[in-house]
Structure 1
Amino acid sequence: MKILHIINSLDTGGAEKLILETLPLLNKKNVKTDLAVLNGYEYPFLKALKKLNCCKVISLGNKSVYNPLLIFKIIPLLKHYDLVHVHIFPSLYWVALAKIISFSKTKLVYTEHSTSNNRRKKYIFKIIDKIIYSFYSKIITISLEVDYNIKSHLGFKNERFVLIKNGINLETIKNSDPIARNEISSNLNDSFSIVTQVSSFRYPKDQKTVIKSLKKLEDNVVLVLVGDGPLRDECEDLAKEIGVAHKVFFLGIRMDVIGILKASNIIILSSHHEGLSLSCVEGMASGKAFIASDAPGLGDIVRDAGILFPIDDDDSLAKEINKLLSDKLHYSEVVVNCLNRAEDYSIKNTINKEINLYKSLLENEIFIQTR
């Protein structure tokens, strides 16, 4: 069984982190699995995967992932693999079109990572999406909300979909130590209460609400933001504009995220929507209190474990942060509930379910060919 995963790049993000975590484990289970990236820029995740030397990494270029000529670079790959597992648009489109043009019989699987996207708001893309998705033998959904939304969008029969929750390596998190606070910033020590959010700087992630909440918090409460992206400059400008720049630490992309989480007091994920956020699960597994916006893709995971606050509501967020920092019993209860909830998202379950799906698709193909 030879499997190829295809994704736009290994920039920061939940889908990218899932690739980094799962490919080494798939190969350890003797499922020969390689990776192709539309853009082979040496992002930290890609460097980390290459360093593991667990699989072949194929770069299809270093320019825009929206270039349709990438289709013709994908076509030769299809014949070398039994199944191709695809993540993220536009890889979704280019791989399907490569299969159509080449008349390839290679099975395709797609993982739907998001509860929503702009294409679903336009009627023409609803039609195009139905055509493109129809060339995938199975569509993996990563949460109940993702499952419901994509089914409603496409209108396919239920048997085309399979729900496999994203997972994290819980053992790695449990065995990791916090980094020294002066490794986060030379200005930080134990007198500060550190609130941390790990996410790319893109519209759905809404770091601005967390930054605004600092106006209602004590001076010793600081915000650490890990990640990068197109809205980082706007967030830095906002922090300066409202007078909290001295309390916000922009770290960029870091590979010691777990150590940073464990050195923090509170983990936050303020988003407008998510698929199934691995940052959310990592936050709950870190042994720290976790707060999230009550957004699609977050509410169902966090409810009755961590703390939820209304989307865009910096006042409510500030109140929840203050309550956690001032009430030790409340803080401890939230930590225990989060740790228990994180156990539901072990990457071992994700891997086993993916392997079973691959086997079922390929065994069914062999059965059909031999009839």
Structure 2
Amino acid sequence: MKILQIINNLSTGGAEKLILETIPLLKEKGIVVDLLVLDDTQYPYMKELQKLDCCNIFSLGKGSPYNPTHIFKIIPYLKKYDLVHVHLFPAQYWVGIAKFISFSKTKLIFTEHSTSNRRMQKPFFKMLDKNIYRFYDKIVCITNEVQEVLFKHCEFKSKDICVIENGVNLHSIMGAKVMHKMQIDNRILESNKLLIQVAGFRPQKDQKTVIKALQYLDLNVKLLLIGDGPLQDECEELVGKLGLKERVFFLGVRIDVPSLLKTSDISVISSHWEGFGLAAVEGMAVRRPLIASNVVGLANVVNGGGILFEKGNEMELAKKIQELLEDSHLYNKISDSGFERAREFDINFMIDKQINLYKRLLE
């Protein structure tokens, strides 16, 4: 069984993190998996996967993943593998079209990672999506909510679509070490209370609400923002406007996220929408309280393991943070319930389901 995974690149994000974590585990279980990226920019996840030396990594070069000439570059790869597993748009489009015009017999799987995208709001792209999805032998949804959205969006038959929930590597997370807070930045004291959000600065994420919430909290509370993306400049401008430069730390993309989560006091996931919320599970897995936006994708993942707040409501978020910091009993209760919830998302459950799907499609 030879599998090729294809993704735009290995920048920040849940799908990219899953590639980094699942390929080594699939190899351990005897599955040959290689990776093709449309853009080989040396993001930290890419460097980390190269360091692990667990698969062949192919690239279509540097440049925009949205270049349609990628279609023709993908065709030769379809002939070398039994099954191709694709993640994210536009890789989803280019691989589907490549199969169609090449008459390839290679089985295709696409994993849908989100409950929403801009294409769903436009009639032309809705029609186009229906046709692209049909090039795939199976669509994998990361939650039941994602599946429900796709049933409405593309009118799938139940045999064409399934749910395999994301997972996290609990073993590596629990083994991460707590850092001294001053190791993160020398302006942070050990007595400071640290909030952390791990998320790319993209439209679906809502770091601005967390930044605004900081205004209503004691000066002793500081915020770590992990990730990068096109909206980071806007968030930095907001921090400056609110006079919070000494309390908000933009740390960029980090490989040591589990250690940063363990060193922080409260994990926050503020989003406009989510497909799953992998960072939420990681936040719960370090046995620290999690506070998350009450949106589809996050609410069911958290499901009693953390605290939910109204999307975009910085005052409610600040109030819930303050309650956790003032009530040690509540703090410990949410920490423990979150850890128990996170255990339900052990990545090994996901890997086993993924392998079973590969085997069924290749029978």
- TM-score range with shorter-chain normalisation? over 0.9
* TM-score (norm: length of structure 2): 0.99
Superposed displacement of residue 303, structure 1: 2.7
1:97-150 C-alpha deviation (Å, 9 max, x unpaired): 100111000000000000100000011111111110001000000011111111
**Aligned residue for 2:268?**
268
SS of structure 2 residue aligned to 1:33? strand
**Aligned residue for 2:170?**
170
1:44-98 C-alpha deviation (Å, 9 max, x unpaired): 0000001000000001110111111001110000010000000000000000010
Superposed displacement of residue 190, structure 1: 1.7
**Aligned residue for 1:252?**
252
Output aligned runs, 1:94-109, within 5 Å: 94-109=94-109
**Alignment identity in percent?**
52
**Aligned residue for 1:367?**
none
Please tell me whether the aligned partners of residues 272 and 296 of structure 1 are also in contact (alpha carbons under 8 angstroms): no
**Aligned residue for 2:7?**
7
What is the aligned residue count?
A: 363
**Aligned residue for 2:127?**
127
Q: Gaps spanning 5+ residues in structure 2: where? A: none
**Aligned residue for 2:136?**
136
* TM-score (norm: length of structure 1): 0.97
Distance 2:67 2:190 in 1: 49
Give the partner amino acid of 2:3.
I
Give the partner amino acid of 1:194.
L
- Does 1:39 find its partner at 2:20? no
**Aligned residue for 1:310?**
310
**Aligned residue for 2:228?**
228
1:275-294 C-alpha deviation (Å, 9 max, x unpaired): 11211110010111100000
Deviates more, 1:299-308 or 1:310-319: 299-308
- Does 1:238 find its partner at 2:263? no
Give the partner amino acid of 1:78.
L
Superposed displacement of residue 305, structure 1: 1.5
Distance 1:72 1:262 in 2: 45
**Aligned residue for 2:150?**
150
**Aligned residue for 1:301?**
301
Please tell me whether the aligned partners of residues 150 and 156 of structure 2 are also in contact (alpha carbons under 8 angstroms): no
Superposed displacement of residue 191, structure 1: 1.1
SS of structure 1 residue aligned to 2:204? helix
Distance 2:79 2:178 in 1: 46
**Aligned residue for 1:352?**
352
Distance 1:98 1:252 in 2: 35
SS of structure 2 residue aligned to 1:244? coil
**Aligned residue for 1:19?**
19
1:249-283 C-alpha deviation (Å, 9 max, x unpaired): 11111111110000000000000011112111100
Distance 2:82 2:169 in 1: 27
1:188-233 C-alpha deviation (Å, 9 max, x unpaired): 1221000000100111111000000011000000011011111111
1:17-55 C-alpha deviation (Å, 9 max, x unpaired): 000000011111111000000001111000000100000
Distance 1:284 1:108 in 2: 33
**Aligned residue for 1:285?**
285
Distance 1:288 1:276 in 2: 19
Please tell me whether the aligned partners of residues 304 and 337 of structure 2 are also in contact (alpha carbons under 8 angstroms): yes
Distance 1:178 1:171 in 2: 15
Distance 1:319 1:144 in 2: 31
Please tell me whether the aligned partners of residues 187 and 246 of structure 2 are also in contact (alpha carbons under 8 angstroms): no
- Does 1:327 find its partner at 2:327? yes
Superposed displacement of residue 246, structure 1: 1.4
Q: Gaps spanning 5+ residues in structure 1: where? A: 364-371
Distance 1:207 1:113 in 2: 20
Distance 1:48 1:277 in 2: 22
1:311-367 C-alpha deviation (Å, 9 max, x unpaired): 00000000000000000000011001100100111100110000000000000xxxx
Distance 2:69 2:330 in 1: 55
SS of structure 2 residue aligned to 1:67? coil
**Aligned residue for 1:190?**
190
Give the partner amino acid of 1:200.
G
Distance 2:180 2:58 in 1: 37
Please tell me whether the aligned partners of residues 277 and 301 of structure 2 are also in contact (alpha carbons under 8 angstroms): no
Distance 1:282 1:134 in 2: 33
**Aligned residue for 1:78?**
78
Superposed displacement of residue 302, structure 1: 1.2
Distance 2:174 2:66 in 1: 39
Q: What is the Cα-based RMSD across aligned positions, in Å?
A: 0.7
Deviates more, 1:241-250 or 1:130-139: 241-250
